[in-house]
Amino acid sequence: MPELTAGQSINKALSLILEKNQTAFLAGEDIGIYGGAFGVTEGLLEEFGSERIKDTPISEDVIAGLAVGASMTGSRPIVEMQFSDFIVNAMDPIVNQAAKLHFMYGGAVNVPIVVRGASGAGTGAAAQHSQSLESWFCHVPGLKVVTPSNAQNAYDLLLSSFVDPNPVIFMEHKLIYKVKDNVTLNPIPKDSSYLGKASVAQEGTDLTVVSYSNMVNVVKEAVSMDELQNYSIEIVDLQTVSPIDFETIKNSLIKTKKLLVCQEAPSNSSVGTTVVSKVVESDLFNVLEIAPKLVSGLHSPMPSAKHLESTVIPQKEDILNAIQDML
C-alpha cells in the first residue's frame, strides 16, 4: 500500500484507465509536456504518447466540445480545466449538450466524459482562481458532481467516474494535492455504484458534521482540538454532492440528533443549504434536538492576501466555535 499524495493517486488512476481502456484519452491545457499546472499528469505523455495525451489551446469551450463530440462517437475522454473557475467558458457544451443529449436522444446516446478541475481557495491565488463552484453543476439534471477529500477517495472516485455512462464534474481541491495517505490501488470497478455514496470519516454519537472536499480535513482538525476531546463527533464526507447520499446523513442524525454542515463555498444556493433544507423538511426534523447550523465561506470575492483569505473561508476555529455552540 503506497503512500501517495492526492495528486499522485489521481495520476495513478489516470494511468490505469489509459492502460486498460484504449478508447480513453486525456485533453487539457499544459497536461502533456508540462505535466499539468499541479503536476497531476506528469509522466503520462511519455507513457502513452501524444495521441492520447493531448495538449490543447487555452480554450475551455473547445476542450469541453471536444469531449462531448468524442464521447458520442465511442471514445472515453477525461478533460482537465486547469482551474475550475474557467469552466464558466465551457458551460454551453457541458450544461446544454453533455447533460442533455442522453435525454434528448431518447437514450440512444451516452456522453461518458469526466471533466476534472482544480478548485477551492487557500493558496493565495485570488478571486479568479480560488472559487468553489460545485453547486452550479448540482443544479443541472444529467450531471454528477464529485468532490474528493483525500488521496484514497480521489483515486477510487475517479475510477468510478470514468466507468459511469453520464458526464461527471470532478472537482479536485488544490489543497488535497499535496496531502499524503496510504492508498490501496484498487482495480477499475465494473460499475459506478460508488458514486452517490457518502463515507463516515469518523464515527461519533454527540453531533453529526456533514462536509465535503478539503473542508472535511479542516473539520477533522477542529474535532481533534483539546476543547472537544470529551465529545464524540461523527464526520460524514459526502464525496459526491450530486447526487447526495441522504440515507447516510439520516442514519447519522438518528444517532446524534444534531447537524452541523461545513463547506468552503458561500451559503447562497449551495450544497450545504440543500442538506439543511432536505433534513428540515423531512421526518428528521422531529429527531433534531437543536436547529441545524451551516458554517460556510463568506459571499465575497476571494482576497489574495493570506490574512484576508483566511477570513473568507472557514477555519478550524470557526468550526470549533460552531460545535461548542451546539453541544
Q: What is the CATH number of the domain that holds 274?
A: 3.40.50.920
Q: What angle do CA 201, 203, 207 make, to 5 degrees?
A: 105
Which of helix, strand or coil describes residue 296?
strand
Q: For residues 231-235, give the mean pLDDT.
A: 98
**Domain-ending residue, one of 182, 217, 240:** 182
> Do 281 and 160 share a structural domain?
no
pLDDT of 245 reads 98
Measured in residues, the chain has a length of: 327
> Do 236 and 121 share a structural domain?
no
Supply the residues annotated as catalytic: 60, 129
**Domain-ending residue, one of 182, 216, 238:** 182
User: Is there a domain that residue 193 lies in?
Assistant: no
> Do 175 and 33 share a structural domain?
yes
pLDDT of 1 reads 86
* Tens digits of residue pLDDT in 248-292: 999 999 999 999 999 999 999 999 999 999 999 999 999 999 999
CATH for 115: 3.40.50.970
Average pLDDT, the chain: 97
> Do 110 and 17 share a structural domain?
yes
241 phi, psi to nearest 5 deg: -100, -5
Query: For the chain, how many helices (H) and strands (E)?
Result: 12, 14
Cell of 107: 437514450
* Tens digits of residue pLDDT in 191-225: 999 999 999 999 999 999 999 999 999 999 999 99
The pTM of this model reads 0.97
> Do 126 and 32 share a structural domain?
yes
Q: In this structure, which amino acid lies at residue 242?
A: S
User: Is there a domain that residue 194 lies in?
Assistant: no
* Tens digits of residue pLDDT in 159-180: 999 999 999 999 999 999 999 9
> Do 291 and 217 share a structural domain?
yes
> Do 228 and 142 share a structural domain?
no
> Do 217 and 171 share a structural domain?
no
What percent of the chain lies above the pLDDT cut of 90? Answer: 99
Question: Domain containing 92: what range?
Answer: 3-182
Beta-carbon contacts of residue 281 (< 8 Å; ≥ 6 apart): none
Determine how β-strand 293-297 pairs with β-strand 240-242. Answer: unpaired
Let me know: does 323 contact 207? Beta carbons within 8 Å: yes
User: Is there a domain that residue 189 lies in?
Assistant: no
Let me know: does 270 contact 304? Beta carbons within 8 Å: no
pLDDT of 212 reads 98
> Do 315 and 211 share a structural domain?
yes
pLDDT of 182 reads 96
What's the domain count of the chain?
2
Q: For residues 296-314, give the mean pLDDT.
A: 95
pLDDT at 312 over 90: yes
pLDDT of 60 reads 96
> Do 284 and 162 share a structural domain?
no
> Do 145 and 265 share a structural domain?
no
* Tens digits of residue pLDDT in 80-133: 999 999 999 999 999 999 999 999 999 999 999 999 999 999 999 999 999 999
**Domain-ending residue, one of 153, 182, 211:** 182
| Residue pointed to by grid coordinates 450544461 | 95
Let me know: does 185 contact 92? Beta carbons within 8 Å: no
Q: What angle do CA 295, 85, 8 make, to 5 degrees?
A: 85
> Do 136 and 9 share a structural domain?
yes
Beta-carbon contacts of residue 131 (< 8 Å; ≥ 6 apart): 84, 85, 119, 120, 121, 302
